C-alpha cells in the first residue's frame, strides 16, 4: 500500500504564481525518498501540505489512505527547515515534552541518540550551536514511531563529520514499514541512503523520478551528476 498519494495537487501564493502544478506522486511504504530540486521549486511547500500545515488550492493528498487532516497528524513526523524551539528550554525538557505530546514517542531511543552524538541532555538550548540544535530537533522527530517522516533539509547545518552518523544511524534506524521523505541540496551526502528520488522543477512539476540504483546503473552517473545536468544554469 502507498503511504503517500498525491493527486493533481496545486498550490499558488501571491499573484497566482504556481508553486506546485498538477503534482502527482505515489510513494509506497518502507522507502527512503529524496525530494530534490533548486531553491524555490516548492519542496518545503509540499512538505507543509503533507504535514497539514498548509492547505492546497486543489487536488488531493492521502496519507496511508486517509485525507490530510487531524487523523493524519498522528501518522506524520515532520522536521521543518528551521528550528522552532524556545531557546530557554533544556534538551531534557524537550524530550519530556515530546513524550507527553506524542503517544508514539520513544524516550529511550531519544536519550540513546543524544548520547551517541554527545549532546548533554541537561544543556540549555541557548548554549548550543545551530548545528547541535538541528541535531536535537532531528533526534526528536526520528524518535517518534510514525508511518511517514518528512525531513526538510535535515543535515544542512550539520558538520560533515556528523552527517555520516546521522544518515547511517538515525535515518536508517527506523521501522522498515515506514517511509522517509528528505529534501536536501546536499545530494552527494544523502544519495547513499535513497531508494527513490524525484527531481522537482520550478512551478512544482516533476522533471524526473525513479529508483536511485537503477538510474545510476542506466545512466552511469550519480544522482548528483544527473541533477547538475538537469538543472544546469
Domains of the chain: 2-230 (3.40.50.300)
Percent of the chain with pLDDT over 90: 66
Is-contact 169 113, C-beta < 8 A? yes
What per-residue confidence (pLDDT) applies to 160? 78
Beta bridge partners of 58: 10
What per-residue confidence (pLDDT) applies to 189? 85
Read off the pLDDT of each residue in 106-113 and give the average, rounded to a whole number. 94
pLDDT surpassing 90 at residue 152: yes
- C-beta neighbour count of 220 within 10 angstroms: 9
pLDDT surpassing 80 at residue 53: yes
Q: What are phi and psi of 145, to 5 degrees?
A: -100, 70
pLDDT surpassing 80 at residue 26: yes
pLDDT surpassing 80 at residue 218: yes
Give the C-alpha separation, 57 to 201, whole Å. Answer: 19
Burial class (CB in 10 A: 0-12, 13-18, 19+), 15: exposed
Range of lowest pLDDT (99-108, 168-177, 214-223, 224-233) = 168-177
All three cell numbers of 202, joined, read 520550478
Give the C-alpha separation, 43 to 200, whole Å. Answer: 7
Give the C-alpha separation, 48 to 39, whole Å. Answer: 15
Pick from 232, 230, 233, 223: which is nearest to 33 by CA? 223
What per-residue confidence (pLDDT) applies to 233? 60
Amino acid at each position: 500500500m502507498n503511504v503517500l498519494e498525491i493527486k493533481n495537487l496545486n498550490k499558488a501564493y501571491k499573484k497566482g504564481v504556481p508553486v506546485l502544478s498538477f503534482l502527482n506522486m505515489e510513494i509506497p511504504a518502507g522507502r527512503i525518498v529524496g525530494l530534490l530540486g533548486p531553491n524555490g521549486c516548492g519542496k518545503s511547500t509540499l512538505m507543509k501540505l503533507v504535514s497539514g500545515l498548509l492547505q492546497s488550492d486543489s487536488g488531493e493528498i492521502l496519507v496511508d489512505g486517509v485525507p490530510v487532516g487531524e487523523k493524519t497528524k498522528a501518522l506524520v513526523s515532520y522536521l521543518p527547515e528551521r528550528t522552532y524551539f524556545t531557546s530557554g528550554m533544556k534538551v531534557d525538557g524537550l524530550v519530556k515534552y515530546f513524550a507527553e505530546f506524542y503517544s508514539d514517542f520513544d524516550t529511550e531511543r531519544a536519550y540513546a541518540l543524544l548520547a551517541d552524538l554527545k549532546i548533554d541532555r541537561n544543556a540549555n538550548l541557548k548554549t548550543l550551536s545551530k548545528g547541535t540544535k538541528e541535531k536535537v530537533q532531528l533526534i526528536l522527530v526520528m524518535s517518534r514511531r510514525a508511518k511517514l517522516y518528512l525531513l526538510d533539509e535535515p543535515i544542512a547545518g550539520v558538520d560533515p563529520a556528523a552527517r555520516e552518523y546521522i544518515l547511517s544511524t538515525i535515518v536508517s534506524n527506523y521501522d522498515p514499514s515506514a517511509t522517509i521523505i528528505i529534501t536536501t541540496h546536499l545530494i552527494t551526502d544523502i544519495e547513499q541512503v535513497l531508494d527513490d528520488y524525484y527531481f522537482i522543477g520550478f512551478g512544482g512539476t516533476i522533471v524526473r523520478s525513479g529508483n536511485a540504483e537503477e538510474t545510476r546503473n542506466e545512466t552511469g552517473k550519480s544522482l548528483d551528476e544527473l541533477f547538475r545536468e538537469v538543472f544546469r544554469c
